[in-house]
Amino acid sequence: MDIKVFSNQVEASAFLVDQYKQLLADGAEVFGLATGGTPEEFYKQLGESDVDFSDKVSINLDEYYGLTPGHPKSYHYYMEDKLFHNKPFAQSFIPKGDTDDVEAELERYNGVLADHPIDVQLLGIGTNGHIGFNEPGSPIDGQTQFVDLTQATIEANTRFFENIDDVPTKAISMGLGSIMAAKKIILIAFGDNKADAIEKTVNGPVTTDVPASILQNHDDVTLVLDEAAAAKLK
Ligand code: F6R
């Protein structure tokens, strides 16, 4: 793994903008995207930059089950609000959280991934090591999954909702196998609450108990960290 450590999110995000400019120059066409607090500064800086995704494809990792695309806490809404409104892609795919046929939606999304192999997948990481919404114990070769969120994830995501009872308990997520199929993976982590998960991702055994540890088996992974998230690395 290539590990880059920056003194703060702003510097890390500026580095990421340069990386994405390079990826575009190198011909990347399909961009796997993440949501959550971590990429917000990066998306803000991308929005202010001159990058152009208007003939590219984006594919998001996951969506809460039960939320319509227009729901202000849905990841559809997040992507529109944080990035797509000023950096549109030619085509953008996000799982449909309000589907009434989950099995058909999983199949549809696997079809999207098969039709558009991801050149670069952006990831955040949960305090429990989850990537996408692949919680500890998720199948290592899994494709798009209908998942139960763990209590740790529900509690972590309460900050985006009015109260914990409003946080969806299920999601549709690309699987670990789908993520590992990306040609390149960039994982971002900021803050001391991510330091344990990052240490286990880098140094720990490869185990689905810490889903991000399987990234050790991928040959093109960059971790973009602030000093707090990198604090437990030796
Ligand atoms: C989001 C996602 C999650 C988050 C992770 C960290 O699309 O797939 O894995 O990246 O939960 O969330 P934040 O960035 O809010 O700490």
Report the CATH number at residue 47: 3.40.50.1360
74: left (phi over 0), alpha (psi -120 to 50) or beta: beta
Is the distance from the beta carbon of residue 96 to the nearest atom of ligand 1 less than 6 Å?
no
ipTM over 0.90: yes
Task: Select which of 60, 128, 134, 157 is catalytic.
Answer: 128
* Minimal-distance CA residue to ligand 1 atom 4: 124
Is the distance from the beta carbon of residue 135 to the nearest atom of ligand 1 less than 6 Å?
no
Q: What is the pLDDT of residues 126-161, one digit of tens each?
A: 999 999 999 999 999 999 999 999 999 999 999 999
Say if residue 234's pLDDT is above 80.
Answer: no
Q: Are 94 and 61 in contact (CB under 8 A)?
A: no
- Which tokens belong to 134? 């692949």
> What radius of gyration do the chain's Cα atoms show?
16
Q: Which residue has the tokens 């120059």?
A: 25
Q: Looking at the domain assignment, is residue 233 inside a domain? A: no
Q: Looking at the domain assignment, is residue 73 inside a domain? A: yes
Query: Closest Cα partner for 144 from 172, 166, 120?
Result: 172
How far is the CA of 140 from the CAs of 172, 176, 211, 230, in angstroms? 16, 6, 8, 25
Is the distance from the beta carbon of residue 129 to the nearest atom of ligand 1 less than 6 Å?
no
Q: Looking at the domain assignment, is residue 144 inside a domain? A: yes
Mean pLDDT of 166-183: 97
Q: What is the pLDDT of residues 17-64, one digit of tens each?
A: 999 999 999 999 999 999 999 999 999 999 999 999 999 999 999 999
Q: Looking at the domain assignment, is residue 229 inside a domain? A: no
Q: What is the pLDDT of residues 51-104, one digit of tens each?
A: 999 999 999 999 999 999 999 999 999 999 999 999 999 999 999 999 999 999
Give the relative orientation of helices 9-25 and 40-48 as an angle to the nearest 10 degrees: 60
Catalytic residue check, 71: no
* Minimal-distance CA residue to ligand 1 atom 11: 126
Q: Looking at the domain assignment, is residue 231 inside a domain? A: no
pTM: predicted TM-score of the whole model, two decimal places? 0.97
Q: Looking at the domain assignment, is residue 186 inside a domain? A: yes
- Give the Cα separation of 74 and 109 in Å (integer): 17
Lowest mean per-residue pLDDT among 85-94, 105-114, 161-170: 161-170
- Give the Cα separation of 111 and 224 in Å (integer): 30
Is the distance from the beta carbon of residue 12 to the nearest atom of ligand 1 less than 6 Å?
no
Q: What is the dihedral of CA 172, 173, 177, 180, to 10 degrees?
A: 160
**CA end-to-end span of the chain:** 14
Q: Looking at the domain assignment, is residue 39 inside a domain? A: yes
Is the distance from the beta carbon of residue 37 to the nearest atom of ligand 1 less than 6 Å?
yes
Range(s) of the domain holding residue 151: 2-192+201-221
Q: Looking at the domain assignment, is residue 215 inside a domain? A: yes
Catalytic residue check, 128: yes
- Which tokens belong to 40? 């917000």
> Looking at the 3D structure of the chain, how many domains does it have?
1
Catalytic residue check, 135: yes
